[in-house]
Amino acid sequence: MDEKQYFQGEDSVELTYRRWTPVQSERNTPIVLLHGAASNSTRWWHFVKHSRLTNDRLVLRPDLRGHGKSIWRGAARIKDWSQDIASMLDHEQQTQAFVVGHCLGANIALGFASRFPDRCAGLVLIEPMDREAVTGILVWLRRLLPVLHLALGLIKLLNRLGLYRRQLETLDLQLLDRRLHEASHAQLKEILTDYGSPWLDIKTMPTVQYLSNLIELMQPLPVTAVHCPCLVIQSRGRSITDVRRTQIALATLPQVEFVTIDSDHWLPATHPDHLRELIDTWILTNPTSS
């Protein structure tokens, strides 16, 4: 059963997540699925529908603070999202979980594992974003961080004065993904531009959170503070990050495995079955899985 649930963050803010309750009630280690910067919990619709892990495991999919239905007018950072994950696990009376994250979600997963090492059974990092490995327009983003901080401060001031959008569009990634899956080869490039379009992203989240996401993507990864097993899944495309540089940055993670798929950055959309099988197999064969 998949249902919407709510929990309170440490600061008493109400946050939203989706809870998959397995038919079998075995007490296996649950799974937490973290979406990326321009996303929400619907990112994982295909995984929940087809994964073998849903047979006997609890699966939790939060709308990260500032995204989806977890409306918040502040500027959440990785430390805030990490604490929210811990609060969600407390709400579910779970001591530990495997944490799977895509893009910014992968960076948050690393942040959570570094802050709450006893609560993380293992990490699956899908296209993590190391600041030294970014390519293309993200190189300019890294150089413009001081400007982004200034812009963030200005938007916060306007928000305090009551100037912000009252209505935000809803992003359903199941609809967007199905459009991609049904597209002809000639249509693929055009549809994929929607996944990285800042104009689409800004319609679905507060502006202050959009800017904060960009800033958080450029924060150093706490690799040396992570002590659980890790699976890193990357795409070969170089539009967002460089595979080799990312692997060098993450090479010191304990018991780390690297897998590369011939695609671009949007693996959950372009290769959902391959991705699901990699995650399922790694978690099911992990010694800490049960």
d(CA 166, CA 209): 14
Q: Is the pLDDT of residue 133 over 90?
A: yes
> At 289, is the pLDDT very low, low, confident or very high (cuts 50, 70, 90)?
confident
Comparison of pLDDT for 260 and 266, the residue scoring more: 260
Comparison of pLDDT for 70 and 288, the residue scoring more: 70
d(CA 287, CA 73): 41
> At 25, is the pLDDT very low, low, confident or very high (cuts 50, 70, 90)?
low
- Give pLDDT, residue 288: 75
Report the mean per-residue pLDDT for the chain.
93
- Angle subtended at Cα 73 by Cα 69 and Cα 78, rounded to the nearest 5 degrees: 80
Q: Is the pLDDT of residue 41 over 90?
A: yes
pLDDT tens sequence across 57-102: 999 999 999 999 998 888 999 999 999 999 999 999 999 999 999 9
Q: Is the pLDDT of residue 191 over 90?
A: no
- Give pLDDT, residue 27: 79
Q: Is the pLDDT of residue 188 over 80?
A: no
Query: Domains in the chain, ordered, with CATH?
Result: 2-284 (3.40.50.1820)
SS (H, E, C) 231-258: EEEEECCCCCECHHHHHHHHCCCCCEEE
Q: Are 69 and 16 in contact (CB under 8 A)?
A: yes
pLDDT tens sequence across 148-167: 999 999 999 999 999 888 88
Comparison of pLDDT for 158 and 290, the residue scoring more: 158
Q: Which long-range contacts (CB under 8 A, 24 or more apart) does 2-10 make?
A: 2/48, 4/69, 7/87, 7/88, 7/91, 8/87, 8/91, 9/65, 9/80, 9/83, 9/84, 9/87, 10/83, 10/84, 10/87
- Give pLDDT, residue 179: 87
Bridge partners (DSSP) listed for residue 259: 233
d(CA 111, CA 283): 20
Q: Is the pLDDT of residue 26 over 70?
A: no
Mean pLDDT of 119-139: 95
- Angle subtended at Cα 251 by Cα 88 and Cα 237, rounded to the nearest 5 degrees: 85
Q: Is the pLDDT of residue 142 over 70?
A: yes
- Angle subtended at Cα 212 by Cα 206 and Cα 215, rounded to the nearest 5 degrees: 150
One-letter amino acid identity for 142?
R
Q: Is the pLDDT of residue 185 over 90?
A: no
pLDDT tens sequence across 228-261: 999 999 999 888 999 999 999 999 998 999 999 9
Residue 24 burial by CB count (10 A; 0-12/13-18/19+): exposed, middle or buried?
A: exposed
- Give pLDDT, residue 274: 97
